[in-house]
Each structure stands twice: as C-alpha cells, then as structure tokens.
Amino acid sequence: MQNSEAMALSAALLAVAGDLTQRIHNGVVARGFTDVRPAHGFAFARLAPDGATVTDLAAHLGVTKQAASQLVDEIVRKGYAERRPHPEDARARLVVLTERGWECTRAAEAAAAEAVGLWVELMGEGEVRVLRECLMRIAPYGPVRPAW
C-alpha cells in the first residue's frame, strides 16, 4: 500500500470514528440524557458490566488517575455511577453503573444501532459484517479511547 493510500485510509477511519461518536452522542441526548459528554460514554463502556477501579478506568481511557478520578466524581455526582467497596481489595473502590447509568448505556446502544443501520443501507448487511470482522482482527479488545 502506498503512503498516500495509507494516509487516505487513516483519514477515513478517523472521520468515521468521529462521526460515529457524534451520532451516538446526539442519539443519547435526544433520548433525554442531556448532561453527558462522549467521554462519559467511553467510561461507561469500561464500567459495564462489572465495574472498574479508577486505575482501571484511567488505563482504559489513556488518561492520568487524577483525570479519571475527576470524571468518576462527575458521573457519580450526576447519578450515573456509584463507588462501592472492592470485593477483592480493601484499599480500592469499585465504580459501578447505577440504573441511570445502565439506562444511558442502553440509549447509546440504540443510537449506535441507528448509526450502523445507515451503513447497512449504504453498503449492505454483508459488507458491514465483513467490515466488523476486519476491524475486530485489527483491534479485538480496544480500549476505546476518546480523543479530547
């Protein structure tokens, strides 16, 4: 692959990721969750299903522990998550989604399905499935990090 082709592919993937993030965010806001930012959604993805420590969340988001702690403070204050004692480490606290956090997560899933539905209309279900399989080979486990 030529450098120019690699750059064009990189630009297209970044554009798609940015557009997808915005569409999901817009869908979440349209479903009544007006006090969240895309960064919250990236955190919720790590907190679901079993919770995480602030250290785990920082590593997932690619930020400092202090930045992750501030984000946790914010989502706890807004009622999306709560801190609990860690079941295996008495020194740590586990951050878990509340029912409101799960409702917001389900809203994001519905918005993502709508966004991907547009891809299916454009490319067909088979091509979208192949795209998913190819991308999963490149980045099978994430982490999904916000760009801010």
Q: Report the share of the chain in percent with pLDDT over 70.
A: 94
* The predicted structure's pLDDT at residue 90: 84
Whole-angstrom distance, CA of residue 42 vs CA of residue 88: 25
* Token pair 């799960």: residue: 102
* The predicted structure's pLDDT at residue 105: 94
**Would you tell me how many other CB atoms lie within 10 Å of the CB of residue 80?**
26
Which H or E run includes 89? Answer: none
DSSP 119: H
Average pLDDT of the chain, as a whole number: 91
Whether 148 has a pLDDT exceeding 50, the answer reads no
